[in-house]
Chain A
Amino acid sequence: MDAEDLELFSRSIRHAAEAAGGSSGFDAGAFDASLADLGWHDAVADFPRESISTLFSIQGETNATSSALHRVVAWALTGSPSAPGAILPRLGSWQPPAREAGDQVQVNGLANTALVEAGEVTVPVATAGGANRSATVTVGDLQLSPVKGLDAGAALVRATGSVPGTDAKSNEGDWANAVRIGRLAVGHELVGASRGVLAQAREHALERIQFGQPIARFQAVRHKLAEILIAIETADALLDAAWLDGTDVTASMAKAAAGRAGRLAARNGQQVLAGIGFTEEHGVHRWIRRILLLDEVLGSSRTLTKDLGSNLLASRQLPPLLPL
C-alpha cells in the first residue's frame, strides 16, 4: 500500500466513522458494514500494520465502536481473514476466554453487539494439555448479556456458557500471536483516544478566557498538555518498534505505554477542561470512559508492567534491542 492509497483508505475510514455517529449514539453495526464495504478485513491480511494502525487510531480518535478488534484477534489466531470475530478474554486477562472441561468447552469472555448479530463466533480455547486452539461456535449456543457498565458506548456483551466441544469446529490456534496483534490494535486505539482528548483540551485552552487571557497562556496548562503529547509519542514509538521487531515483549511494552498515555491524557485533559469537561454535554467523558476500558483489555498498563519487571528479575536479561 503506497502513501497515496493509505491516505485514501484513511480518509474513507474516517468518513465511515463520522457517518456512523449521530445524535442517538454510535452505530457499531453500520460502521462494521462500512468497513466490510471498504475491504478492510481483506486488507488486514495483506497489509496488517497499515490496516490495523490506521483503523484503530481513527476509531480511538473519533470514539467509534466496531467488531474490528474481535476480527483482528480471530485472524491472528486462525490465520484466516474470513474467520468470524473472536470472543475476547475477560477484562484484565490475556488467557483464552474458554477452556476444555470434559467434552464441553466453557466460555467466559466478551463479545459486542455487532459481533453477536453475525451468527457465529471464533472462540479461543485453552486445552488441557496447555496448548491453544480455536473453535467456531454458534452464537445461539451462548448466554449473552449486554454490558452497560462504565462505557455503555463500547456495546460489549458478556458471553458465557458451556458448549459441546464436539459441536465446535476445531482448529489449531496461535494464541500468543493473537494476543500480540490484539495488543497492538488496542494500543493504537488508546493512542488515538489520547489524541482525541488532547485535541479537545487544546481547543478549550485556546478558547477559555480567564484573567483576561486564554488559559493556554498559563504555563501550568501548557505543561499539562505537553505531557500528554510526550506520553502519546512515547507509546507511538513503542508501537512502531513492536511492528518492526514482531516480538511479544515489545507489543506488551507498547500496550502498557499506550494505556499509561491514555490514563495521563484522561487525567490532564480533564483537569484542563475543568468544569465543562465534567458535564454530560461536552462529551469528553466518552473518551475517558473508553480509555479506562481499553487499558484493561488484554492486560492493563499496571499488570503488564509488573509482569515485564518480574520476568526481567527472573531472567536477569533485558529484551533484545531492535537494531538500527
Chain B
Amino acid sequence: MELSEFKAGLDAWLDENESALAPPEGIEHLDQQMVRLSKVKAAVYDAGWMRWGWPEAVGGLGGSTLLRAYLGAALTERGLVEPGIYSMTEVLAPTMIDYADPALAAEMVPRLLRGDETWCQGFSEPDTGSNLGSLACRAVRGPDGWVVNGQKVWTSLAHYAQRCVLLTRTGTLESAHRGITAMFVDMDTPGITARPIESMHGHPEFAEVFFEDVVVPFERTLGQEGQGWSVAMDLLPFERSTALWHRAAFLHHRLQQVLDVAPDGALDPAKVGEVTQLLYAFRARSRGTQWRLHRGETLAAETSIDKVLVAAAEQAVFDLAEEALAEKIILEDDGPAERWRSEFLYSRAATIYGGSSEIQRNIIARRLLDLGNDR
C-alpha cells in the first residue's frame, strides 16, 4: 500500500463515515472520550485502516509507518480523536513487538489496535520523576512468577487500562539503570489498585497505581531480566515520533480555530506570526522524523528536539488562544469555553510530562553537543 493510495482511500472512507464517529456538541468528559475512542478504533480497524503500518505478525497488514502517521493525523484533524489518548498505541505497541514473546505480542497487540483494550505505561514513581534510573517499585522472584510491590504515579489512563507495561527494580537500588526489568502486567491481577488523580485541567487522565504482592508470570517479562532500561530507552523515541505528528495535526486544527474566533484587534500580529512559525517548524521537524522512521533509521536523542518543539508550540498556541478568548476562558462555563480552558490548562504540562524540557536540554547537551558528563 503506497501512501498516496492510502490517503485517497482513507479520506474517502472518512468522508463517508465520520459523522457516525464524531463527538457530540460541547464538552466531552474523559469517560465518554474513552468509550468513543474505542468505537473509532474498532471502526477504523475493522475497515482495515488501523492495521496498515503494523507487522503481519501482530495482526497488521504491513506497509510503511507513514500510514500510521497519516491515519492518526487525519482522525485528529477531523476532531474524531484526542491525540493524547489515541497515540498511546504508537508508544506501547512497538515495545510489545520488539520485546514481548512473539506469541504474546500476536495475541495482545490486535486488542490494543482495535480499541478492545486500553494499555498504560508504568514508569514514574513518587520519588522517580526525571531520574528514571532511581525507580524503586520492587519485583522479586517467587514460585509462580515475579512478585511486585511498590507504587507508580502519573500513569496515564491506568484506571481505564486492562494491561500495563511496567518498569520494576529487580536488582539492588545501587545497580541504578542496570537493575531494571520491564514486564507486561494484567491490571486485573489481585493486589493492583489504580486511583485517578484529579488534575488542574479537569480530566482525570493520570492515576497512581499501587502494587501489593502482585504476581506476574515470568513469561510476561519484556526482554531479559535487567534489560528494562533498554526497553524504556527504545520506547521513548516512539513517544516523540508518530505520536507527535498526530499532536501537530491537533495544534494546527486548534490554531486555525483561534484565527476563526479571535475578535478583531485582540491579537498582536507579531505574536500570531511567531506562533505560526513555531508550529510549522515543529511540524516540518516531525515530518522529517516520520520519514526517518519509514526508512528504518534508529531514532534516538535527536527526537529530544522534536519534544522541546512540540511543548513550545503547544504552549504558544494556547497562550494565543487565551489572549484571543480571555473572557470566554476566564469567565464562561459553556461547552466550548470549558474545552478551551481545559486545553489551555493542559498545555501548561507540555513542558513537564514525557521528560521535561530541562531534561530534554540535558539530553541535547550530552548526546547531540557531546559536552561530556555534567557531574
Contacts and interface: CB of A to CB of B under 8 A. Distances in A.
Interface stretch (B103-111, B181-189, B362-370): B362-370
Q: SS class of chain A's interface: helix, strand, loop or mixed?
A: helix
B69 A309 contact: no
Interface stretch (A34-42, A152-160, A300-308): A300-308
B280 A241 contact: yes
B287 A312 contact: no
B361 A223 contact: yes
B285 A233 contact: yes
Nearest to B363: A226
Contacts of B361: 222-223, 226-227, 230
A226 B276 contact: no
A110 interface: no
Contacts of A256: 273, 277
Contacts of B152: none
Interface in B266-289: 267-274, 276-278, 280-285, 287-288
Contacts, number: 137
A320 to B, nearest CB: 10
Contact of B281 (A218, A226, A235, A321): A235
Interface residues of B, number: 48
A310 interface: yes
A235 B309 CA distance: 12
A226 B281 CA distance: 17
Interface in A251-282: 253, 256-257
Contacts of B73: 324
A111 interface: no
A229 B284 contact: no
Nearest to A235: B281
Nearest to B3: A324
A321 B267 contact: no
B177 interface: no
Given A233-B285, A312-B259, A318-B252, A222 B371 contact: yes
- 4 closest Cβ contacts across the A-B interface? A309-B273, A309-B269, A309-B272, A222-B365
6 contacts: A214-B372, A223-B365, A237-B281, A256-B277, A306-B273, A324-B290
Given A226-B369, A313-B267, 18 more contacts: A206-B371, A214-B372, A222-B362, A226-B361, A229-B368, A230-B305, A230-B361, A234-B309, A237-B282, A238-B277, A241-B280, A256-B273, A257-B281, A304-B273, A308-B277, A312-B276, A316-B260, A321-B252
Interface of A: 198, 202, 205-206, 214, 216-219, 222-223, 225-227, 229-230, 233-235, 237-238, 240-241, 250, 253, 256-257, 302, 304-310, 312-313, 316-319, 321-322, 324
